[in-house]
Structure 1
Amino acid sequence: MWPVDRTLSPGELLDPRYEVVPFHGRVDELAELARWWDDGSRCSVLLLHGPAGVGKTRLARHFQAGSGVVVVDDADLVTGLDLHEPRVLLIARTPGWWWSAVRQRATRQGYRTDDLAVTPCPDEHETSFATACAHFAYALGLTLPTAAAPDVATLHELHLAALAEVCATPAHWLVTTDPAPGRLAEDALAVALLDDRISPDRTPDALQTLLRAAARLPHVRRRAEELFTAHPELADRAAVAALRILAEWPATAGAVARRVFDDPRCHGDPLPAILTRTLAEQASTRLERAELHGLLAARAALASLHEEALAAARHEVALYRQLAAEDPDEHRPALANALRDLGLRLVAAHRPEDALAASREAVALCRVVAVEDRDATSRLADALDQLSRRYAALGRRTEALVAVDEAAELYRGLARAHPELFRVDLDEVTRRRSALARGDQ
């Protein structure tokens, strides 16, 4: 508990850092946290997630005391979250793709990863309400009320109702008197935005509060959608992590897409992938969906979302298969490209046998395309080079040499005709062929 030598404001009374209301309950969650702490892993990261106000921070702070665990609150808002400590407890409202990216990076660093959902505990609400009323009354020097616990969803709402009962003040007015950062600021903003004449502030912190509140409350989301649709340039000002919320809304995704994709702050972040997923879900034609899933696979891979990239690549291939079945001449080349990309995603997902199968099919398709269109010879050469790599990864050196020899022969012909375009490719394939012959790969 933080030391205080004064009467706390309403916002501070509700702030879990002050622990005006002592922690109680959550026996099952504490047992799960203890098991995580004692699981024997050298390095481990756990995500504690649940709705805003459910009591995640209180639970984490109570468990942290004396344990030495590192706690990162609002971890979904931390850009480029990196792990250094052996035991890390993350707190966020929802898992989502930001957590998937962190989890996959952490796994590669040798961390064990897990998550624990924190849900409302209505069976504890009567006790929690009475406890909160007693401690708020004591802290403020007011009379202890005798009201029953209201029917609310979260611990935050329960404590808010208890404080309002102690103060004999309507809860929504009490919130607006002293909005602290986080949930209280969102609540205060939500009350203000019930009046359509009020326009949200446009500073980076205010936009983050707006979008976090919009993820919870329909009327705030409507105001946020109107604001960003009319002023997409606000995406340049808002924090990248907050924009992940906006990227999931069909009404605003198209408006801010170009600004997000061109923003260097977003490179390596899940945001462009989340936005592309939303655009793909809105696509009106099968061809547009296929193209967007190809982009989604690439953008997900850049954000360390290898599982999601693989799923998108599979979807892209499935869509191009349908299109190629209806019009082979038009869509067979795109299907071959999609299969080559699928091979790359399978390699990243440590599925070498599946990657080999995708590369073999890509080569077969490229042979057909190259017969029909001589300009597609370079595509066949590249597919053969990729196939050689797949064979080499599985230790099948003889087959890898056959594939790379054919790729080198094709590149030699291309380099003779267009040396400025294909000399580098020929040199690279030749070096790889020599390394394979020596047994270096």
Structure 2
Amino acid sequence: MTDPWKAELAAFGGRLRKLRKANGLRLQDLADRIPSNTSTLSQLERGDGERGPDQNLVRRYVEECVAALGAALREATLTDVLREHEEMMDRRQFGRPLARRRATAERVVLQGAVLFERPDEDAVVDFGGRRFEVSPVSGAMPELPVDQARAHPSRLLQPRFAVVPFTGRDDELGEAEMWRGGTEPVAVQLLHAAGGQGKTRLADRIAADSLALGWQVWQVRHDPAAATQPEPAPNQVVLGSGADLLVLLDYGDRWPTDDLMTFIRTMQQLARRRETRVRVLVLGRTARHWWPAVVGRLDADHHLDATGQWPLSPLVRSTDARRSMFRTAAAKFAERLDVPGGLSTLTEPVDLDRAEYGQVLAVQMAALAAVDAHLRGRTAPTDLLAVADYLLCREYAGWDELHGTRAGFTRAPVMSRIAYTATLVGSLSRPQARAALRRTELAASTDGADRLIDDHLACYPARDPRTVFEPLHPDRLGEDLIALTTPGHEHVHLNWQPDDWTTAATGHETVLSAAAALTTADPPAAAPTWAPGALAVLAESAHRYPHLSTEVINPLLTTDPGLLLVAGPAAATRLTELPGLDIAVLEAAEVLLPQDRDVHLDVAAAAVARKLTERRLATETDAARRADLHGNLSVRLDKAGQYAEGLVHADLAVMEARQGTDETLALWLNSQSLLLARAGNRKEALASAEEAAHIRRQRPHDVPGLANALNTLGISLAAMGDHQEALVHDEEAARLYRRLVAQERTEFVPDLAMVLHNIAASRSDLELDGPALEAADESVALYRALAEEDFAAYGPDLADALQNLPAYLRADPDREGDAVTVAEESVALYRRLVAINPAAFLPALAGGLHNLGVSCSQAGNVERALRELQESVTIYRELAQADPDAYQPDLALSLRSQATSLSAAGRREEALQTGSEAVTLFSQLASVNPRRFTGDLAMVFYNQASYLSELGRTDEAIKAGEEAVASCRSMVDDDGLHTADLADAVHNLAFILGEAGRHDEALPLAEEAVERNVVLVEEDEDRVPFLAVARSTLGRELAERGRAGEAVRCAEAAVEALRLESEYDDMWTPFLSGALTTWAIALDSSGRRDA
């Protein structure tokens, strides 16, 4: 069993090595600077020694590694590593980390804040200059005075006023109580639902409950401009001595992943430093795509489990329930508006059965409009559009009243424009708000801008006192303001009037719409920080109001198509989906999109290509050109991770190409093969690849085309389990690519790297470990150089190449120690890519996590292995539910590895249960493709036999062992390979039969195991310990049959070999103990008790 102390030392050393490599230092460089020597530092990184590393050496090591970083990050990293070292040494000496009394006053730099603390006193945390703003939550619900509520009734809809009592959500509150009350220092949870479902109200209730229990509560919002200010404003909050902390993080799905990681890491450091509990509740509209990347990084980088999430379903489903909620809300609004008399004549909406009223907010908006209309003796609106019109007009009336009663107050038409601007750009700092007003020519001076900002604040006080330009809430009403203020809509019967300023806000040199004035820049990458949010608001509004496409978005993007790139993948996709978007916009954007892969733009590129292809296919009649349209779209979709749709267009490309030239047909057959393989349709993929290769063989002068076809054919053959044939084609493709590269055709370097990657995999499957590692090293080196030049294009390929490298490293005794480091780099790259495009890279991340888990397990860090493998299984399970053909093999493989690690951790019942699921999956796969999956099936049966035997379930163990042997025999009979697997399976069954007392059956199998291992040792000396173990088992069986002399000879040979092996590798020590026992028994049986 692995020594926990050694495992902890190795993990700490691995972190140091990773820190050194991340900062580009060689071991010799570090030794010269400390000063020390490479031998001592190498021991530190390996975790060698019994006493643990010296703290001064660790301090000097880290100081030199981080010397080039910024001051705050230097101090944060050093503090974190030294704290980890201190706690590790405490666990070694005392069994737990000690709580130490610190200096009388300290300033501690955390990753995203500075902590000022004194022992046993409140601490101050300063977040100034960071990309987030934090404020304390008191729990007190502010009262909105009646006059303000009547002037701006929409403010009554804001959750902070809690006008309508919180109701329901008992299950969610119970889960929150359990989550908050857990013992772990830090916990992170996602609460997600569509807008208007009540997640903010639920979060506020959780906060109120927490405050009642003595917790402190903070609210945090993202502020991308905060870190760019020349003089950052202080942002200090107090954390009470001994207080637990709940943090509410809103709009989490809009935070950049790196900023979210920084904040949560800061909370983790704060919890450790203050020895308290921290709970981070993240709010967002969805969990899709972005949250799995966050969960994975929290686990890998910070060892935090954030897999839990609370999705909120609609609270009001039936019409009767909506009617009841309408009446309850109306009564509460009537109280706040001080409506005299009863509400018996209140008019209810006529369309409460519409899906939109499934949202609590929609019902409350209708109730508010009805009550306000009743108060004023007006006709109540009866549908949602009329409700929006009514509430907007009430806002206008409030502005007009302020202008009439306050001298110099901004006129209502101008306040409408300011509200439009604020809703488009969102909350900003005052300097940013001034810039926005200048861009739209609403203000020409700082004083003028400040007056407008102050008047807007009088109408809409900011929730965060450090910001201005509170948007009109709720979001839906804000979108109504944007759309109905813009001329061109068809709702002429409404009272709200359009404003031509929205389409002609500036006019000094060029007439620009307000949206264009707020978002355009030269170059587009220099657009203001609020531009992506503004484009997202426009896109969502335009999907409900088509005139925004023609009046605002088309002119904006025709003039500046680069804004599609600024908008980000989600907003760009929503923009291209607008029915009224001009094709000229798409064509202009197409020119700007890269032809090769760019992980930042692949989703936008696919969206543009989809719409353009639809338009072009409608008029194109030439079969070859139609094939190219479908084929090019399939490539774009494949890069964006939209594989199913990509395969549809690949099929259509092949169908059209069959009416054209063979060259076009070969091109799209090749592409079709790759997409079919990705979808799990391996036989069809092989057929397409073979046809493409056959066509290319007829045209040998087209060297690139032939090399590409051969590479794809190799991939398809390998997927079918024919690795020998795959290797033949891959190596021919490599020779062709080398010839092209030698001719200085550098555009083929990526192709050479790719085929080398495939060659490594095939060589490994053929048990050619050394040559496999050689090819993998060359592939990684080529991809690393390419990625350094263009990460967006080649970062994914580098991650793929690194993903398989740990398996080859583990097979090399001289380099197996590098496997975990390489696997960590691969996973880190995939997490970075998943944050950009989850659909494209989530499966690869799962594969990288699997390899990292296996590497950790083989390095002795079983607990970490289980964490990585669990995440891999979770991702693959979700993928396999949606697409079993593509991902069931990966799920089965991850389950097998997870079972192995569970067994290593002593959790054999769980290992058996997990392994049983892997058996079921591999049995299904082997029944369809025996050549590809029989070997995997044999291995899981082998493992199950061991688990069952260890649990004392001998009869079941024997059955599983027999299945393993049968599967291995079928593989050896089929291809002559896998003889080592058969030798191991035969030995395992012999051992289990012997344990069960069935020695007549065990003896011939033990003899066979020895015979097979003798042959294997002649070819591979690494099989020596396996032969020794088999001889130990045979010795036991011989002794049982009374053949004492033979038993002694077998046991002696086993002991001699295992003694040598145990000196180099502790894993053989238990087998040595067993061999010694067998030897003693054999000697006793022979009468040689004195030996």
TM-score between the two structures when normalised by the length of structure 1: 0.67
| Residues 240-299 of structure 1: per-residue CA shift (max 9 Å, x gap) | 37625536627576654565769xxxx876xx243244356565645324532453369x
**Structure 1 contact 253–279 (Cα < 8 Å) conserved:** yes
**Larger CA deviation: 330-339 vs 169-178:** 330-339
Gap regions ≥5 residues in structure 1 = 299-311, 343-352, 411-428
Q: Say which of 365, 388, 392 aligns to 2:729.
A: 365
Q: How far 1:231 sits from its partner (Å)?
A: 4.1
Matches within 5 A, 1:222-371: 222=549, 226-227=554-555, 230-233=558-561, 235=563, 239-240=567-568, 243-246=571-574, 249=577, 256=589, 272-279=601-608, 285-293=629-637, 295-296=639-640, 315=675, 324-328=689-693, 329=696, 333-334=707-708, 363-370=727-734
Question: What is the CA–CA distance in structure 1 between the aligned matches of 2:297 and 2:287, rounded to whole Å?
Answer: 15
- Say if 2:336 is the partner of 1:119: no
Q: 1:93 to 1:313 in 2, by over 3 A?
A: farther
Question: What is the CA–CA distance in structure 2 between the aligned matches of 1:59 and 1:214, rounded to whole Å?
Answer: 30
Q: How far 1:159 sits from its partner (Å)?
A: 1.3
Q: Say which of 428, 438, 441 aligns to 2:814.
A: 438
Q: 1:390 to 1:41 in 2, by over 3 A?
A: farther
Q: How far 1:324 sits from its partner (Å)?
A: 3.3
Matches within 5 A, 1:77-96: 77-80=254-257, 81-83=259-261, 84=264, 85=267, 87-96=279-288
**Structure 1 contact 69–87 (Cα < 8 Å) conserved:** yes
Q: Say which of 199, 203, 219 aligns to 2:546.
A: 219
Matches within 5 A, 1:16-95: 16-37=159-180, 44-67=187-210, 68-80=245-257, 81-83=259-261, 84=264, 85=267, 87-95=279-287
**Structure 2 contact 756–778 (Cα < 8 Å) conserved:** no
Q: Residue type matched to 2:607 in 1?
A: T
Q: Secondary structure at the match of 1:17?
A: helix
What's 2:802 paired with? Answer: none
Question: What is the CA–CA distance in structure 2 between the aligned matches of 1:38 and 1:163, rounded to whole Å?
Answer: 38
Q: How far 1:370 sits from its partner (Å)?
A: 4.7
**Structure 1 contact 136–166 (Cα < 8 Å) conserved:** yes
Q: Say which of 148, 154, 157 aligns to 1:7.
A: 148
What's 1:145 paired with? Answer: 343
Q: How far 1:186 sits from its partner (Å)?
A: 1.3
**Larger CA deviation: 319-328 vs 8-17:** 319-328
What's 2:291 paired with? Answer: 99
Question: What is the CA–CA distance in structure 2 between the aligned matches of 1:406 and 1:236, rounded to whole Å?
Answer: 40
Q: 1:287 to 1:30 in 2, by over 3 A?
A: same
Q: 1:23 to 1:11 in 2, by over 3 A?
A: same
**Structure 1 contact 235–260 (Cα < 8 Å) conserved:** no
- Say if 2:392 is the partner of 1:175: yes
- Say if 2:163 is the partner of 1:163: no
Q: Secondary structure at the match of 1:141?
A: coil
Question: What is the CA–CA distance in structure 1 between the aligned matches of 2:326 and 2:295, rounded to whole Å?
Answer: 36
Question: What is the CA–CA distance in structure 1 between the aligned matches of 2:196 and 2:313, rounded to whole Å?
Answer: 10
Question: What is the CA–CA distance in structure 2 between the aligned matches of 1:41 and 1:281, rounded to whole Å?
Answer: 47
**Structure 2 contact 609–636 (Cα < 8 Å) conserved:** yes
Question: What is the CA–CA distance in structure 2 between the aligned matches of 1:69 and 1:341, rounded to whole Å?
Answer: 51
Question: What is the CA–CA distance in structure 1 between the aligned matches of 2:673 and 2:715, rounded to whole Å?
Answer: 7
Q: Secondary structure at the match of 2:260?
A: coil
What's 2:666 paired with? Answer: none
Q: 1:249 to 1:32 in 2, by over 3 A?
A: farther
**Structure 1 contact 276–292 (Cα < 8 Å) conserved:** yes
Q: How far 1:88 sits from its partner (Å)?
A: 3.1
Q: 1:313 to 1:142 in 2, by over 3 A?
A: farther
Q: 1:72 to 1:390 in 2, by over 3 A?
A: farther
Question: What is the CA–CA distance in structure 1 between the aligned matches of 2:172 and 2:630, rounded to whole Å?
Answer: 45
**Larger CA deviation: 223-232 vs 43-52:** 223-232
Q: Secondary structure at the match of 1:69?
A: strand
- Say if 2:297 is the partner of 1:136: no
- Say if 2:514 is the partner of 1:201: yes
What's 2:617 paired with? Answer: none
Question: What is the CA–CA distance in structure 2 between the aligned matches of 1:188 and 1:409, rounded to whole Å?
Answer: 59
RMSD: 4.9
Q: 1:23 to 1:364 in 2, by over 3 A?
A: farther
Q: 1:279 to 1:244 in 2, by over 3 A?
A: closer
Question: What is the CA–CA distance in structure 2 between the aligned matches of 1:409 and 1:114, rounded to whole Å?
Answer: 41
Q: Residue type matched to 1:154 in 2?
A: Q
Question: What is the CA–CA distance in structure 1 between the aligned matches of 2:335 and 2:201, rounded to whole Å?
Answer: 20
Question: What is the CA–CA distance in structure 2 between the aligned matches of 1:234 and 1:407, rounded to whole Å?
Answer: 39
Q: Secondary structure at the match of 1:82?
A: helix
Q: Residue type matched to 2:306 in 1?
A: R
Q: How far 1:24 sits from its partner (Å)?
A: 1.8
Q: How far 1:43 sits from its partner (Å)?
A: 5.0
Question: What is the CA–CA distance in structure 2 between the aligned matches of 1:313 and 1:247, rounded to whole Å?
Answer: 32
**Structure 1 contact 49–91 (Cα < 8 Å) conserved:** yes
Q: How far 1:10 sits from its partner (Å)?
A: 1.7
Question: What is the CA–CA distance in structure 2 between the aligned matches of 1:332 and 1:44, rounded to whole Å?
Answer: 54
Q: How far 1:191 sits from its partner (Å)?
A: 3.4
Question: What is the CA–CA distance in structure 2 between the aligned matches of 1:402 and 1:92, rounded to whole Å?
Answer: 49
Q: Secondary structure at the match of 1:90?
A: strand
Q: Secondary structure at the match of 2:307?
A: strand
Q: 1:58 to 1:335 in 2, by over 3 A?
A: farther
**Structure 2 contact 730–755 (Cα < 8 Å) conserved:** no
Question: What is the CA–CA distance in structure 2 between the aligned matches of 1:53 and 1:74, rounded to whole Å?
Answer: 13
Structure scoring higher RCO (CA < 8 A, sep ≥ 6) equals 1
**Structure 1 contact 53–155 (Cα < 8 Å) conserved:** yes
Q: How many pairs were matched up? A: 387
Q: How far 1:185 sits from its partner (Å)?
A: 0.9
Gap regions ≥5 residues in structure 2 = 1-140, 211-244, 268-277, 374-379, 382-386, 396-418, 420-471, 490-497, 504-512, 519-530, 614-625, 643-671, 680-684, 697-701, 742-748, 780-804, 819-1091
Q: Secondary structure at the match of 1:23?
A: coil
Q: Secondary structure at the match of 1:46?
A: strand
Q: How far 1:160 sits from its partner (Å)?
A: 1.2
Q: How far 1:164 sits from its partner (Å)?
A: 1.0
Question: What is the CA–CA distance in structure 2 between the aligned matches of 1:384 and 1:233, rounded to whole Å?
Answer: 37
Q: How far 1:47 sits from its partner (Å)?
A: 3.3
Q: How far 1:19 sits from its partner (Å)?
A: 1.6
| Residues 136-189 of structure 1: per-residue CA shift (max 9 Å, x gap) | 212122234233754133222211111111111542221354361533211322
| Residues 314-357 of structure 1: per-residue CA shift (max 9 Å, x gap) | 63755986753442227664466679999xxxxxxxxxx98x97
Q: How far 1:98 sits from its partner (Å)?
A: 3.2
Q: 1:238 to 1:325 in 2, by over 3 A?
A: same
**Larger CA deviation: 105-114 vs 134-143:** 105-114
| Residues 398-430 of structure 1: per-residue CA shift (max 9 Å, x gap) | 7231235578999xxxxxxxxxxxxxxxxxx9x
